[in-house]
């Protein structure tokens, strides 16, 4: 596999690379990103290696991220044509103005026009709802997005960081009203964030949404810079967000297993972690956030990794999240419904607590 092993995003004809270049690190405005020269080199390197998918947001580095992409990609028509640009709206970049945040029609149109200007393009390939707005009627949001698609200013729509039930509600309403439907779901997903597998991932599979995981390395925690030898000393976004790098034993277990498998493949733990998430059911393109060309090349190496079934199972086992109510109950349903009957090649495991149940006895 390579960056040119393109995948269609959800139920659409939009073809994207298996790794998406995340632009939250574009610009130093937030104190930890890459400068303009380094960012420009990263964009050019990614495109030269065959990548075609760049993801940003109106809020990233105080709008600077979109402007950098506009200067490098949007301003060059031939480069723009071959590049899929995704950006987001909902977060407010105009402090004090209640109508420039959220997903109402006025907010959408205002932010869309500003993003188009900064990106130096007359259309956006994929426009994401950055986070769900519970203060705006869902119908207003979906109708406004549909109008923007019909106007030609955006081509496709997606949704990020929203409850499964709201996404399903919106997708169903769009289907019934013949509005534009979501083709993508952007969620945090990694070996250390698997709670999305409870409802969000199954929903995406059922409704035809291509998943684009963000923070697949958990803010750098799975990049290889954290290990038992330097415990508490490594820096990075994870340490900054969490007030240090004191890890739990479960986190260390995942890091240890990544390191073990990385040595077998003669690669980095980051490449193994990216390969794991990029091959999970429903995942189309994994968003990588880097600050240097060296980090970019190391992450791209994940496209050459082919984990064995045993290696994948080992990573699954060491990273399994606590079971939710639905997951615990789901294990009992096949036995309650069908007993030990095999259906579609699946035979339920015996559950001790149900052993004495004898339906139909009387």
> What pLDDT, in 10s, does the model give residues 230-247?
765 555 555 545 445 578
- pLDDT confidence of 274, banded at 50, 70, 90? very high
Residue ranges, CATH 3.20.20.100, the chain = 7-322
Q: Which helix (H) or strand (E) holds 67?
A: helix 64-69
- Specify whether 60 is catalytic: yes
% the chain with pLDDT above 90? 81
- pLDDT confidence of 359, banded at 50, 70, 90? low
Asked whether the beta carbons of 83 and 118 are under 8 A apart, the reply is no
- pLDDT confidence of 202, banded at 50, 70, 90? very high
Q: Which of 46, 60, 127, 156 is catalytic?
A: 60
Asked whether the beta carbons of 146 and 152 are under 8 A apart, the reply is no
Q: What is the pLDDT of residue 243?
A: 45
pTM over 0.75: yes
**Dist. CA 258–CA 276, nearest whole Å:** 10
Identify the three-state secondary structure at position 13: coil
Q: Answer whether residue 46 shows pLDDT above 50.
A: yes
- pLDDT confidence of 326, banded at 50, 70, 90? confident
Q: What is the mean pLDDT of the chain?
A: 92
Extract the tokens encoding 104: 């109402």
Among 180, 181, 186, 182, which Cα is nearest to 211's?
A: 186
**9-18, 92-101, 324-333 — most confident range:** 9-18
* Topology, domain 7-322: TIM Barrel (3.20.20)
> What pLDDT, in 10s, does the model give residues 66-76?
999 999 999 99
Q: What is the pLDDT of residue 340?
A: 75
């Amino acid at each position: 596999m390579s960056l040119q092993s393109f995948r269609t995003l959800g139920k659409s004809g939009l073809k994207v690379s298996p790794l998406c270049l995340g632009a939250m690190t574009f610009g130093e405005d937030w104190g930890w990103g890459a400068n303009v020269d380094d960012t420009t080199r990263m964009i050019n390197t990614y495109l030269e290696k065959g990548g075609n998918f760049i993801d940003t947001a109106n809020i990233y580095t105080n709008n600077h991220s979109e402007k950098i992409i506009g200067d490098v990609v949007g301003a060059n028509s031939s480069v723009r044509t071959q590049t899929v640009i995704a950006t987001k709206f909902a977060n407010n970049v105009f402090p004090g103005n209640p109508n420039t945040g959220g997903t109402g029609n006025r907010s959408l149109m205002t932010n869309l026009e500003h993003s188009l200007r900064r990106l130096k393009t007359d259309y956006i390939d994929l426009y994401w709802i950055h986070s769900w707005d519970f203060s705006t009627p869902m119908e207003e949001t979906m109708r406004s997005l549909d109008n923007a698609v019909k106007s030609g200013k955006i081509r496709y729509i997606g949704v990020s960081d929203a409850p499964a039930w709201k996404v399903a509600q919106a997708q169903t309403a769009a289907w019934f009203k013949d509005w534009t439907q979501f083709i993508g779901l952007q969620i945090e997903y990694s070996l250390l964030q698997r709670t999305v597998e409870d409802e969000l991932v199954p929903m995406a599979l059922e409704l035809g949404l291509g998943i684009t995981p963000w923070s697949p390395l958990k803010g750098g925690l799975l990049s290889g810079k954290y290990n038992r030898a330097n415990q508490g000393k490594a820096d990075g976004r994870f340490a900054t967000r969490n007030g240090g790098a004191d890890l739990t034993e479960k986190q260390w277990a995942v890091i240890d297993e990544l390191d073990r498998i990385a040595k077998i493949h003669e690669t980095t733990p980051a490449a193994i972690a990216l390969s794991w998430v990029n091959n999970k059911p429903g995942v189309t393109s994994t968003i990588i956030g880097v600050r240097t060309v060296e980090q970019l090349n190391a992450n791209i190496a994940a496209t050459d990794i082919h984990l064995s079934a045993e290696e994948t199972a080992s990573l699954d086992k060491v990273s399994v999240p606590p079971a939710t109510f639905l997951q615990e109950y789901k294990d009992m349903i096949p036995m309650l419904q069908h007993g030990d009957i095999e259906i579609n090649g699946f035979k339920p495991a015996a559950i001790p607590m149900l052993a004495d149940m004898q339906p139909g006895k009387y």
